[in-house]
Amino acid sequence: MRKPIQSSERGNVLLCVLCTILVVSIIGGNVLLNCMTRYNAASSQVRSWKESIDAAETGGDIAYAEVRKKILDPTHAFSGWTYSGGVYSNSPVTYGNDSLATSAKVDLFYYDPNGNPWYRIRTTGTAPVLGLKRVGMDDRMGPNNHGDSLLRKIDFNYDHFVATYGPNGDGLNKALVPVSRPQVTRRVELISAPITPFEAAIKAGGTFYGLGSAAYVDSYRSSTGAYDPNVRLNPNDPRYIDALSGTVEINSAVATIMGNIYGNVYTNGGTVTKNTASITGIIDNNVPFSLTPFRMPDISGWTYVSNPSAVTGNTTINPPAAGSPESPSYYLMTSFVTNGNLTVNAYNNNGTLQETYVAMHVTGDVGSTSGQGASITIANHVHLEVYFDGNFGAKAQNIINNSGFAGNLQFYAISPTDPSVQQTIDLNSGGGSTAGFAAVFYAPSANFTVNGGPDIVGAIVCKNFYANGNVHWHYDRALDNTGDAVDYRLISYVEDTR
């Protein structure tokens, strides 16, 4: 008789195998657990946190594009956005493989002294957190350290921001809002500031020729005193620092420069020829820029005044109110005849002259190159902006700005809609070599010509520049924040890290 093998011996083997599997499983599980923690943190949470700021900044870009349209394409600015309570808002935009979402709110929160609006852009960007619902790795840093949680605030079940601070972050309308899946939301606030056009003495989008051999371009700052021709030659003068900013910017390779430039010269890949030694500042041949066509600004906030409606002969404007930079008295002129003589007076309030803001749109030419050309006189306290659709012709002696501050007399040449039409601005000195004026011109589509040697305080932005005389050109550094907005730039960035 043969005894069968006892089953208990097989049982021991099975037990050993199970124990081995258990040990291996525990080790494997531990490894997997650690791996998943890191995978969650590294792959999902860090990625989502970075993607959410990308989304928020994308929302900022979208809103910024709409703000720029306020200048460049006003009729389509904020098209499709909702406007309520002074705030533009858009529907959430979803993009990318990870379905990032962004939305923005834009409000006009400030008018600067030029009457240009400043816009605040508030955006949110949301990115889903994929993977398991696991917190970060604070546990690995010891007690009381919450580096991950303080940095990357993940909404697993509810939007913590709305629950704690309200949807606008102002403590109002707090609510427990469930989220459909774990997500990270980041919020940024951007400030969009207007760019004013007169940041250099002369800025030519095309070619440049000039000035005369005895001409010069220098600068001063009217807020620190009147122009003094000796300052630029005296390094010990405290105003000397403001005397060497007669900068000339040329967006072409053609730059024929004569005379003395007390400032920098920039070209777009060009070689400065002729009197280069007379340039006190730097010569940089790698400064391209573009000038966008100028359009008539939004006049909806301006106060329309019907009379006069044309400048024929001697025409005087006595504004009915002082107005303000953002709401000037507005005149629509159907013509400004060749020998038209316009005088603009300040608003008199019970014997006290007020700072008076006047805007004028001439739908044709302003004067001409024949005869006397246009004559314009503005009294002290007057801030006049002249917009014109056609050409401009005048003698320097006939442009009289009694305040002496160029920013008080601004000319804007509205770009022709027909690209084959070449707009022109012609200034003749007249009245001797010292005759001059204080004014600024923004004419990105016009050819600007100066004949003779007038004495000019101001700045010019034009297409092609030509001057053949011994012009004395004084750029006022106070002009760098003067004028209508010609574009916008973002100058402030804040993240709401709560």
Q: Footprint of other proteins on this chain (CB under 8 A)?
A: 3, 27, 31, 34, 38, 41-42, 46, 49-50, 53, 109-110, 112, 118, 120, 137, 140-142, 145-148, 150-152, 165, 169-171, 189, 191, 193, 480-481, 490-498
Least Å from the CB of residue 323 to other proteins: 21
If the CB atoms of residues 184 and 435 are measured against other proteins, the closer one turns out to be: 184
If the CB atoms of residues 152 and 395 are measured against other proteins, the closer one turns out to be: 152
Residues 6+ apart with CB under 8 A from 148: 41, 45, 135, 136, 137, 138
Backbone phi and psi for residue 381, each to the nearest 5 degrees, phi listed first: 75, 0
Q: How many CB atoms lie within 10 A of CB 432?
A: 13
Least Å from the CB of residue 196 to other proteins: 10
- Asked if 346 contacts 354 with a C-beta cutoff of 8 angstroms, the reply is yes
List Cα–Cα distances, 337 to 254, 333, 365, 374, 431, in angstroms.
35, 10, 8, 7, 21
Residues 6+ apart with CB under 8 A from 275: 213, 257, 258, 259, 260
Buried b (16+ CB within 10 A) or exposed e, 357-393: bbbbbbbebbbbbeebbbbbbbbebbbbbbbbbbbbb
If the CB atoms of residues 55 and 435 are measured against other proteins, the closer one turns out to be: 55
Least Å from the CB of residue 185 to other proteins: 15
Least Å from the CB of residue 50 to other proteins: 8
Let me know how long the chain is: 498
If the CB atoms of residues 33 and 296 are measured against other proteins, the closer one turns out to be: 33
Least Å from the CB of residue 281 to other proteins: 13
Least Å from the CB of residue 189 to other proteins: 7
- Asked if 475 contacts 406 with a C-beta cutoff of 8 angstroms, the reply is no
Report the Cα–Cα distance between both ends of the chain, in Å, rounded.
Answer: 85
Which residue's entry shows tokens 């309520």? 84
If the CB atoms of residues 37 and 354 are measured against other proteins, the closer one turns out to be: 37
If the CB atoms of residues 82 and 223 are measured against other proteins, the closer one turns out to be: 223
Least Å from the CB of residue 121 to other proteins: 12
If the CB atoms of residues 148 and 365 are measured against other proteins, the closer one turns out to be: 148
Six token digits for residue 341: 């003589």
Distance in angstroms (rounded) separating the CA atoms of residues 201 and 178: 58
If the CB atoms of residues 104 and 376 are measured against other proteins, the closer one turns out to be: 104
Least Å from the CB of residue 41 to other proteins: 6
- Asked if 153 contacts 184 with a C-beta cutoff of 8 angstroms, the reply is yes
If the CB atoms of residues 238 and 293 are measured against other proteins, the closer one turns out to be: 238
Least Å from the CB of residue 416 to other proteins: 32
Six token digits for residue 450: 């100066």
If the CB atoms of residues 161 and 473 are measured against other proteins, the closer one turns out to be: 161
If the CB atoms of residues 114 and 424 are measured against other proteins, the closer one turns out to be: 114
Least Å from the CB of residue 30 to other proteins: 8
Q: Minimal CA–CA distance to 476: which of 459, 495, 455?
A: 459
Least Å from the CB of residue 111 to other proteins: 10
Least Å from the CB of residue 22 to other proteins: 15
| Alpha helix (H) residue ranges in 108-187 | 147-151, 160-165
The whole-angstrom distance between residue 87's C-alpha and the CA centroid of its chain comes to 20
If the CB atoms of residues 27 and 177 are measured against other proteins, the closer one turns out to be: 27
One-letter amino acid for residue 252 of the chain: S
Distance in angstroms (rounded) separating the CA atoms of residues 31 and 374: 87
Distance in angstroms (rounded) separating the CA atoms of residues 391 and 367: 8
- Report CA torsion sign: 337, 361, 437, 473: negative
Strand blocks (E) in 422-464: 423-428, 436-442, 446-451, 455-462
- Asked if 416 contacts 296 with a C-beta cutoff of 8 angstroms, the reply is no
